[in-house]
Amino acid sequence: MNFYKTKRVLATGGAGFLGRSVVERLGKLGCGEIFVPRSADYDLVDVRAVKRLYRDACPDIVLHLAAAVGGIGANRENPGRFFYENLMMGAQMMEEARVFGVEKFVALGTVCAYPKFTPVPFREENLWDGYPEETNAPYGLAKKMLLVQSQAYREQYGFNSIYLLPVNLYGPGDNFDPDSSHVIPALIRKCVEATEKKDPSITVWGTGTATREFLYVDDCAEGIALAAERYNKSDPVNMGAGFEISIKDLATLIARLTGFGGAILWDPSKPDGQPRRRLDTTRAKEEFGFTAKTPFVEGLKRTIKWWRGQRG
């Protein structure tokens, strides 16, 4: 509790899906002051806005959570934008933090940075063993450059920055826009709307054979807060829940939890994305005591309840 009481924290993306949970978590930990920049006021792709942000926020700790992000469809449609915006935001936020004399910089990476055919479970040592899955490689590589920058700055300048690799997140407050959502909110929306319309079936991208791991958003927020307090090394750290589920089994589970009894059809003309995903989370537990707590079915129920509540 005492660590955060005297800290001024700048949380980019603090009004977003993950950011809201992180800000709430820091509040519970007694954080002295949290500055959440709005994109309308600070365009983090513009270095002038980044410099102004540091002057306005005067942070001790920076949590760089902001990202241009989306599901497989959004990544296919915006590879250039996702690469450029994430690269520029990250590079400029860290450089200006160094210049400003920030005490600590927490960079949030992505599981998309891992090679397409990484051995399961993904270990941090595997990060450079190949090229990422093609549909989200530009995004994944742009975020991966934060690790390179972080390690280079620690070596040359003694700058205290860390790099965290969360797996796919889900939970209340997620993005349910069908044009940019990830798989869990997309499936929940499809199933709920199909149930209401009494549709006989839903169609899901891919073959259903790909596997994913999911981390509840509040668990991720707790992990970020712990890492910001306790972890001070160059090595990247995975953050996950330590399980793996196929998209086919996920769709069946969400259909059951939402009450959708129709058929689930698959569209193999659409990409599956990375074949498998599951992280080795040993380092997070050993280095800063993080272990995911929310059971997957319970997290899904909360997310479904939230989405239904939003729709009235």
Q: Give helix then strand counts, H and E, for the chain.
A: 11, 12
Pure H helices in 11-78: 17-28, 47-57, 72-77
Strands 245-246 and 211-212: antiparallel
Contact 25, 225 (CB under 8 A): yes
CA distances from residue 152 to 54, 147, 155 in whole angstroms, order as listed: 21, 8, 5
- Residue 214 — φ and ψ, nearest 5°? -130, 140
To 5 degrees, how large is the angle CA 190–CA 275–CA 261?
25
- Residue 105: CB partners within 8 Å, gap ≥ 6? 61, 62, 64, 93, 94, 97, 98, 150, 159, 160, 161, 162
Contact 219, 241 (CB under 8 A): yes
Q: Is 131 a catalytic residue?
A: no
Give Dmax over CA atoms of the chain in angstroms.
Answer: 62
The catalytic position among 4, 54, 114, 139 is 139
Beta-ladder partners of 170: 216
Contact 136, 75 (CB under 8 A): yes
To 5 degrees, how large is the angle CA 32–CA 34–CA 40?
160
3-state helix, strand, coil split of the chain in percent (to 5) is: 50, 15, 35
Catalytically active residues are 139
